Structure 1
Amino acid sequence: MNPAIPDILTSLDFVLIEFTLEFQEPFDLDEARMLRLRRDLRSAALLTLGEDESFSALFDPPLAEDPVALKRYQRPGPSFVLRPDPRRCGYYDSGDCLQMTVLFWGRGIQFIRHFAQTMQTLGKSGLNRGEGCYDLLQVDARELSGNAICLWSGGGWPERFAPPVASVAWWLDSLAVLDSRAVLEFVTPARLLSAGRPLFRPTFANLFPFILRRVSSMVHAHCGGADIVPDPRVLQEIAQGVEVLSNDLLWRDWRTLESEKGAQEIGGVSGRLELCGAGLAEIGWLLRLGSLLHLGKGAAYGAGCYRLDS
């Protein structure tokens, strides 16, 4: 295993689940609709689950009880992450199918069935504000090799799913080490706020603290209170030494928010960073985990998704 990967990651797991939806009416899936499932999905979950443990574990994980952890970690996000594919945007006719991939992290794995039932309920009201009604046809677990294992294809729900889990450490060790060069590219816009103000053209030095906070808080909240980075200052110092060869990150508006005060454009950062430097080998594992968990506001619902190439 890459010596830079912390040993604690050998005990952390995630699962990729693919939901197959068959539209019952024409639906135009654009980027704005793809990234705005939060309200409708939560409403469907409340109808399906009520406000029980499964709802809280998936959508509203509690704050840390330890005052030190409460101060150190940001408010934990949901234990799932929607993995959007902009290439799947477009017009869908009645009878067309859409595959939606969702990552379940740590403790969230045991609540996959509850999420699947929520997806079935959501189909009756539609993906976005009453539009895009669908039937849930199938639920598959997607192995890292690409193989799909069917967990459900209609009928009654099993008591619980037993999907093949992926060890975070094994996944990291299967990827190329980011030893001297990396390209970080946002697949969906990332809305990053600092002191309440958007970062319109962040540098890598601006981005790294967001990655560090997102990963460490998701590990602590959903993986048994694990402390993945005992001293964040060490990694921050390493990140400061990473050189940026090119930066074409730009702010892009992707939706309009209507309110009593008028229309407001909502956007996020898109584009790519080209990085180099020996420090990449030491912080590469953290950048990789950030690519699983996304960044910024709405990260669990598909925003702030980025990919890394070496």
Structure 2
Amino acid sequence: MNILNFSKEQVEEIVKKHEEGMLTEDIKRLMEKYESETGKYAVWRDKVTEGFKKYLMGEKIYDRNKERVSLYVSEEKKNQWQRFLEENNINTISRLIRLSVKHYMENFKNHSFKDEGLSNLSHSLKSPLTVIKGYSQFILQNNLEEISEDVAETLQNIFDKSVILENKINNMLENIKPKNEGYSILLIEDDLATIRLVTSYFKSKNYICKGVVSGSKGLEELQNNKPKIILLDIILPDLTGYDICQRIKKDEKLRDIPLYFLTAISKNQVEKELTEIDPELHPDGFIPKPFDFSDFNILFQHLQG
């Protein structure tokens, strides 16, 4: 990139000419060259950019290999960061962010073994165990005549203990269940206002209700949690309530959860749709929208049971 050397006054004159619509062909070519070399705009929203002004005066311009990353933080957070800068002699917030990201990435890469989780712990145990078990079995099956009775007995003991340890690892992993979030009602509903209303109502009754805005999110929740009741809208952005209801009722682990449609579709229309579906896969009830809070009274039988 050729270095230019326009004075500040000359740059101001170019800006003025641009505003008057009287730019020379030479300056227009410089603008095109600047945009081609840097990937940045010379004019943005009908104003000459600061980057192009610096370019004209010969200041260093970063090319497109570097991109700006923006963050939006509260005023309180910004002031907190600013105090940290002053206390630790760091020049700018940008530098603080770069240092923080670098520190996090280094720690993440070098995190301790205990943070790897049980699945990685299982892998770390099973890898050498597979070798021990495999070699002992191989020798017993293929080289038994070449070893003494004492060695054969020792190898058999190693193999037997390996099998026991392997079974214990497998049982431990099978018995581990994801942490239940501890809510009683799962509401699958795409209207946020309805979610806020229903969750607030049940909170006033000392029950926790969790709302999700799509069918796929609801099914994902049910993989790790088993609420006492499911409230399900029929019209959702991805799956229909009829599809979700059938999936839940087909699942042996979930079919016993009381499921109620919460929908603005008329009861007659819902019943008509259900005639096409196996009765065993029907919901347990129907609550119409707009609803009265007394419509929820039937749910407390399940919540208190």
* Larger Cα-atom Rg: 2
Question: Structures share a fold, TM > 0.5?
Answer: no
Instruction: Choose between structure 1 and 2: higher helix proportion.
Output: 2
**TM bracket, shorter-chain basis:** under 0.3
The TM-score normalised by the length of structure 1 is 0.21
TM-score with structure 2 length normalisation?
A: 0.21
Please identify which structure carries the higher strand content: 1
